[in-house]
A and B are shown apart, each in its own frame.
Chain A
Amino acid sequence: MFEARLAQGALLKKVVEAIKDLIEDANFDCNSSGFSLQAMDSSHVSLVALSLRADGFEHYRCDRNVSMGMKLASLSKILKCANGDDAITMKSEDNGDTITFMFESPEQERLSEFDLKLMDIDSEHLGIPDNEYDATVKLPAAEFQRIVKDLSTIGDTVEISVTKDAVKFGTTGDIGNANIMCRQNKAADKPDESTEIDINEAVSLTFALRYLNSFAKATPLSTHAVLKLSKELPILVEYHIPEVGRLAFYLAPKIED
């Protein structure tokens, strides 16, 4: 059987809220090392990779590898019934056709159980190489969210250019154009507000803002978003979930015809 208890149930709520508009349904893969998901959006432009480590759970048991297909909208409906401070336990029997979500309030005076029907999902699993990237930018998650939101009011795509000291986000649209530059800033007294740039080579790539806006729904999960870029490769936008794992998004670049 599979059973996993997450004391901070809110994390699971936030993860599902972050991906449910990008992905309709997906297989959640459980094995002894943890709980993970890999899925492409319906247009096959982006890829979501979630991994929650077994040791990030308060209790974790997975007797055999299982892949549980779920409709994200249904999962979201159920998780919305959990309070933000509830612990969430997921349970499923081997070869079962449902997964049970149990919500426990902090004082355990309220216990609720919701069963979600599992579904068979035929999904293509991609092999993601562990790339060295030309540039890595770690910036406050809320700042990244604001940048992609603001630029979306002007244009549909963003050119992200990283140099040694700064990252520049630029867009062009019918009404004009916009550029936002963030300088490296390693303020030791305010680590949550730091912007750090690690660069092997200057890089400049163009991406659809619609997807970056969607990725930014993961903002509540982490203080920072980490952007990793290499010439002509998909951008990796990572949100580290402290002590539990990470939620990563890959987005294929736009190329000039």
Chain B
Amino acid sequence: SSRQRDISSFFGGA
């Protein structure tokens, strides 16, 4: 099974 990553975990807060 696969898990969906969260987009903010890649780009972080600015």
Contacts and interface: CB of A to CB of B under 8 A. Distances in A.
A252 B3 CA distance: 10
A186 B2 CA distance: 35
A257 B5 CA distance: 11
Interface string A241-257: 00000000011111111
Contacts of A257: 1-3
A157 interface: yes
Contacts of A233: 10
Contacts of B6: 44-45, 252
B12 A127 contact: yes
Given A45-B7, A250-B7, A255 B12 contact: no
B10 to A, nearest CB: 5
Interface string A214-254: 00000000000000000001100000000000000011111
A46 interface: yes
B7 A251 contact: yes
Interface in A128-148: 128-129
B8 A44 contact: yes
Contact of A252 (B1, B10, B12, B13): B10
Interface of B: 1-14
4 A-B pairs closest in CB distance: A127-B14, A126-B11, A252-B5, A254-B2
